[in-house]
Amino acid sequence: MIPKPEIDLAALSQIVRRYPQLGDAAQILRNGLSINTATCIFETTNGRYFAKRYDPLNRDTPSLMAEHSLVTHLRAANFCTPLLYANDRGETLTWLAEFPYALFALARGEDRYGERGVFDPFDDREEARAAGAMLARFHLGLKPLPLPAFKPFRGLTAQYQILLSPDPKAALDALLAEQPGLQQFLAQQTSYEAIIQRIFRHMPAIAAWHADWPVGIIHGDWLKRNLFWQGTSISDVIDFELWNVAPWLYDLALALLPCAFNWPELLHGQGEPNRRDCQAMIAGYHHVRPLHANERRGLAVMLETARFEFYLSAIGHALTHDAEPQAQRFFALLDDTTRWFDNHPDWHSILA
């Protein structure tokens, strides 16, 4: 496994000095909270805050600056997300030893799902509905902004470009050419071609419908652990690191997958997809931003294909960190989940 990166108190103290409004760093309360980015909750003489140290191997500076612009815009539009602090130069990124840091206020409300499994259901149907409604508000809240450039295929990546391309095979080949290690790894997997056949069989439907799928800024990681709660209402939304530009339907599918499909159970022949949470999340989303007819038609296809490029990025990310066993696990998950969809065509009934 790739170890969770941690933030050093001595380095953090140097960063905090650039934020005089926060006081002096005293101690780190919780460290190593994420796989992809070094994060911690820390305490100063003025209170408690949240810090991130980004890895330049995983994040490019233009995308980071764009992310911070999104956060600033959302807060100005009264969207519920923690304050991103500016340093003594008015900048939201502070550099130390070639690493950029960012400091945030703590999220408000209850971290209800932070320690639970990613596939655990919502406690209440109304929570799933609230999650869908807030995702739609997120999309509409960023709609006035000019669309930024697509993010590069780097680190863990939420993107949906291959199957929207006029020539998906060429688009996939071009993506893999940028990562020779990933290309070599996939060439050695005997089931890779079968996976491609399962994914690419959806191309005619996508080609027929995707012109009616609104494109905008997506969150890319709308998981329960990134939502904070007061009762059944969402008090804050965090973690925009996987933002990108894609059909909004893609973001909805990424959000539905972990709450509707408990893969550890399903892949062992146990349980069934979570109809309650799936339908509640869709209903909440649709109430705020009604889905077009071709979005409704395309949702099942999007659910079956949404994590294809993400899994490729996860495999590449693991290989970059010399974690081939983890790369093998992500490949197995890609293989097993696409095969499950093929073997269970009746799963579509949970969308009705």
Question: Could you tell me the pLDDT band of residue 154, with boundaries at 50, 70 and 90?
Answer: confident
- Cβ neighbours of residue 269 closer than 8 Å, sequence gap 6 or more: none
Class of domain 125-351 (CATH, top level):
alpha beta
Which element (helix H / strand E) includes 264?
A: helix 263-266
Q: Residue 152's pLDDT is what?
A: 86
- As a whole number, mean pLDDT of residues 271-279 equals 96
C-alpha to C-alpha distance for 232 and 128, rounded to whole angstroms? 9
Handedness of CA 147, 153, 154, 158 (dihedral sign): positive
Q: Is 350:278 a contact under the CB 8 Å cutoff?
A: yes
Q: What is the pLDDT of residues 170-186, one digit of tens each?
A: 999 999 998 999 999 99
- As a whole number, mean pLDDT of residues 73-98 equals 97
On average, the pLDDT of the chain sits at 95
For residue 134, the one-letter residue type is M
Where are the CATH 3.30.200.20 domain residues in the chain? Answer: 9-105
Tokens representing 308 are 């294809």
C-alpha to C-alpha distance for 122 and 233, rounded to whole angstroms? 12
Give yes or no for residue 266 having a pLDDT over 80.
Answer: yes
DSSP-derived 3-state class of residue 135: helix
CATH number at 9-105:
3.30.200.20
Tokens representing 52 are 């991130």
101 against 1, higher pLDDT: 101
Tokens representing 274 are 């979570």
- As a whole number, mean pLDDT of residues 313-338 equals 95
Q: Residue 153's pLDDT is what?
A: 87
Q: Residue 16's pLDDT is what?
A: 98
DSSP-derived 3-state class of residue 64: helix
Where are the CATH 3.90.1200.10 domain residues in the chain? Answer: 125-351
Phi first, then psi: give them for residue 31, nearest 5 degrees. Answer: -130, 160
Question: Could you tell me the pLDDT band of residue 1, with boundaries at 50, 70 and 90?
Answer: low
Chain centroid, CA 178 distance in Å: 22
Check: pTM over 0.85? Answer yes or no.
yes
Q: Is 242:307 a contact under the CB 8 Å cutoff?
A: no
The pLDDT > 70 percentage for the chain reads 100
Q: What is the pLDDT of residues 59-70, one digit of tens each?
A: 899 999 999 999
Give yes or no for residue 2 having a pLDDT over 90.
Answer: no
